[in-house]
Amino acid sequence: MRTTSTTPARPVLIAALALTTAGSLLLTPHPAGADPKPAPTRHEPALDRRAAQAPASAAARALGIDAPAGRPITGYPREQVLSPDPENPADKSLKLGLTPYHAIAPKLNALQALGDRVSVEVTGKSAGGHRLYLVTVTAPETDRQARAQERMRDLIENAPATAAKSAEIKASYKAPVFFNNNIHGNEWEGTDASLKLIEQLATAKDKRTADLLAHSRLYFNITANPDGRIAGTRANANGFDLNRDFVTASQPETRVMRQIEIDKQPAVMLDLHGYVNGTLIEPTTPPHGENYEYDLFLKNTYANALGMEAAVNGLGYTPAKDGVEPAQIPFRDQQEGWDDWPPIFTPQYAAFHGTVAAHTVEIPLQVNNSAYTSLPVEELRRRSAVNTAVAGAAIRATLDFVQARRASLVADQIEVFRRGAAGAAQVPVSEKTVPGVPGIGPEDVYTTTFPRAYVIPAGRTAAARLVDHLLANDIRVTRATKAFHLSGRTYAKGSYVVDMHQPKRGLANVLLADGRDISDKVSVMYDISGWSLGRLWGAEVTAAPTGRLTGLPLRSVDKATSVGRVAPHGDLGLRLDDPAAIAALNSLLQQGVPVRTTADGGTAIVPASARPKAMALARTHDVAFDATRLTGTTPLHRTRVAAAVTPGELFALREMNFEVTPVSTAVLNAGYDWSATDVLMVSTGLEYTDLTAPARTALDAFLAKPEGHGLVGRGIGGAELSTATGLLAAKPVEGNGDANGVVRMVNAGPITTGTPGYGFVYAPVWFTDLGPQVRVEQSYATGNPLLSGHWRPLEDGTGGPSAAAGRPSVISGPHAVLFGTEPLFRDHPKGEFPQVARALFNMAAVKESG
């Protein structure tokens, strides 16, 4: 369940071959007792369609475009024998009668052996080290035919105006369709429905199936989250909800899905989830993402939803007999509460890569969480069988939709890219612009104004990180070879420019723009409503609203220029304004290098004797060690953290190379040795009142030592522990628990100085009634502090942004630092990470400074 140009073009490959045309879908099961024949084994090329070898055609050369170089493109099938995984009797799928992870590799080997339609590639590994499998089902292709498909696919994205006129594409292009399964590990059945369907497609003898596979490539991400599938958890082994990670892409599974979107460029995709009864099929309620071409998206998504609804209801399940309610389409059946505003969800992210029909499908009958442990096995297996059938019906209906509308789907994908490349205006939805979709009203109209370009000044680690992130998302970036003038401002040589006349302008804008305050649009949002990398990642990002890029000294880049360096002489200064710098500092401290910080805590002074170590770290973390004559004031030491925090916070702490031991109420009650801990960080999972008397005594002793050990608290959980232990005299005030977004901040103390004047909140907290020893490190801005997101007052008028305005958001004292913001939220707001690092160093230093 979701629970919420002047830019030089990249290589374009022009279609040169026409393939056999085809026609709708009828699946014939594999005949019982058939003798499958083995197929030859091949190695699948790396998942990177732009690394292909193919000569540029005359049309490509006429456009001034060269062919990419790299591994050759081979035809289909692309088969390989997968080694088996050890049998795991603890796999949670087994209880449900579903396919355990260890049975997937043998199953895929068997499917490849059924004929010449099924190919398997390993696209990467999960956080827990399990292989991720992508299955391609299509009619066989020669190497030459496969190269032709790649040429057409590149043409669609990179020269869409030409692609729109291409007779080869209209006749021969295989529409890419993507089925993403099991992204939430304990929402299992999409995997099993896909495996069943792949077997049917592999062996069906009817003309309609042959026609479908001659005109499309079907991609199945068999299990996007094998860690969770095995463990029966929503999250992966790192504790991350992968369906919230597409803006940040912190997890390996997310990066694999991102690359599939880029390389395969699906026109249609389903993301199979559970459990909502009746089956929930997107499109969604408002607000709708303002950065994608919603008119094209709604037209196709609604039409496919109707087909899936008919197929699911056509299975004949009833509320009385089976406990299955009729399917529902939120756009039609709900007012609000299931939106497609943030691109953190798989279908919404897919839209930015040209997917014009993308759906979350929530199958109906719960088998996870409390149901998994409380229901009899027979009932769980009955439900899982129903869910598998429902998922299969949705997939099959989608294939019928693709077969019936292949030409228009491809044309609409081309139009998405054409609008972006041309800088064309978006088309607001209405019953006129999106015929056939009833009930469109002004509440559904969301568009934005794209700037002419974004400029990112170079020279800082944060800028390089941001540029590399944009490139990883298939966004085109250039770099200035000379100083230049744009939109009334002069920029230095080396600045990066994101030309917004590019095919994936929507994704560029969704990542770099401030976003919008949508508090007045709906009463509540499903998940986050603001996420701006331009404000939260610590890099300077400037929008150039107008201007001409023609003639500017810009050159395409495929990687950010390194900023790592080490001054050749004397002591070194390392600015602590980026998580990479914190990681480098922690490495030095763990190696015993004597480091001091400046009085404001913003710079680490590293002795000249550590230059060789600094040189290695500059390369590893891409950070700058500059010459300095400062000596520093406060010595820093290796900082060991006991952390009762969210998985995202734990991941961020480790990303900064802190030595972290997870703790909780249960861990402390079991007897925790505090001698190896310097600082306690708490946001969740540690309740003082639930501690046993010995555990409470040990915690009190740790925090009350004369030389001091500090607490870093976040949110109401951290503040309550501070209050319970008497560390900081302050009253925490909880804002609206549904509020979230990017907020304007005023930095006032050494904990926050030098970090962005923006923060992120998710259930914001602020502080009043401050004691005499409490220092305000940061406050919410006056007026309306919300820059983008959703933050309303509660029904009684309290808890809103006006109540938080001007109030302290981060405070400190001799033995505690408290955050009312979310500086490590889901490993996302990178520019805020140093605030937490400084707080931890500050508390660890208490034992020396008193």
Q: Which residues are catalytic?
A: 362
DSSP string, 776-809: EEEEEPSS--EEEEE----TTS-SSHHHHTT-EE
Helices marked H in 711-782 = 715-725
At 679, is the secondary structure helix, strand, or coil?
strand
Q: Is the dihedral of CA 320, 321, 324, 328 positive or negative?
A: negative
> Distances from the Cα of 188 to the Cαs of 133, 184, 236, 388, 815, in angstroms?
15, 8, 13, 9, 47
Q: Taking every pair of C-alpha atoms in the chain, what is the biggest distance, in angstroms?
A: 83
Q: Rounded distance, CA 727 to CA 407, Å?
A: 67
Q: Which residue has the tokens 């732009």?
A: 50
Q: Rounded distance, CA 424 to CA 411, Å?
A: 16
Q: Rounded distance, CA 834 to CA 578, Å?
A: 6
At 469, is the secondary structure helix, strand, or coil?
helix
At 698, is the secondary structure helix, strand, or coil?
helix
Q: Which residues of 417-438 are buried (b: 16+ CB within 10 A; e: fewer)?
A: bbbbbeeeebebbeeeebeebe
Name the nearest CA neighbour of 769 among 718, 725, 721, 719. 719
> Distances from the Cα of 738 to the Cαs of 434, 439, 768, 786, in angstroms?
33, 28, 21, 14
Q: Which residue has the tokens 């059938």?
A: 389
At 728, is the secondary structure helix, strand, or coil?
coil
CB-side neighbour CA atoms (13 Å) of 640: 9
Helix 189-203, helix 377-422: angle, nearest 10: 80
Q: Rounded distance, CA 287 to CA 837, Å?
A: 36
Q: Rounded distance, CA 730 to CA 820, Å?
A: 12
At 571, is the secondary structure helix, strand, or coil?
coil
Q: Which residue has the tokens 């804002």?
A: 735
> Distances from the Cα of 593 to the Cαs of 607, 618, 648, 660, 675, in angstroms?
8, 15, 29, 20, 22
Q: Rounded distance, CA 557 to CA 560, Å?
A: 7
- Amino acid 188 reads W
Helices marked H in 473-554 = 505-512, 533-536
Q: What angle do CA 165, 171, 177 make, to 5 degrees?
A: 100
Q: Rounded distance, CA 274 to CA 162, Å?
A: 41
- Amino acid 254 reads T
Region label for 688, one of left (φ > 0), alpha (ψ between -120 and 50) or beta (otherwise): alpha
Region label for 550, one of left (φ > 0), alpha (ψ between -120 and 50) or beta (otherwise): beta
Q: List residues bridging with 496 in a β-sheet.
A: 456, 479
- Amino acid 351 reads A
Q: Rounded distance, CA 323 to CA 469, Å?
A: 45
Q: What angle do CA 433, 434, 436 make, to 5 degrees?
A: 135
Read off φ and ψ for residue 185, nearest 5 degrees: -60, -30
Rg (CA), the chain: 28
Q: Rounded distance, CA 531 to CA 247, Å?
A: 8
Q: Is the dihedral of CA 159, 165, 170, 171 positive or negative?
A: negative
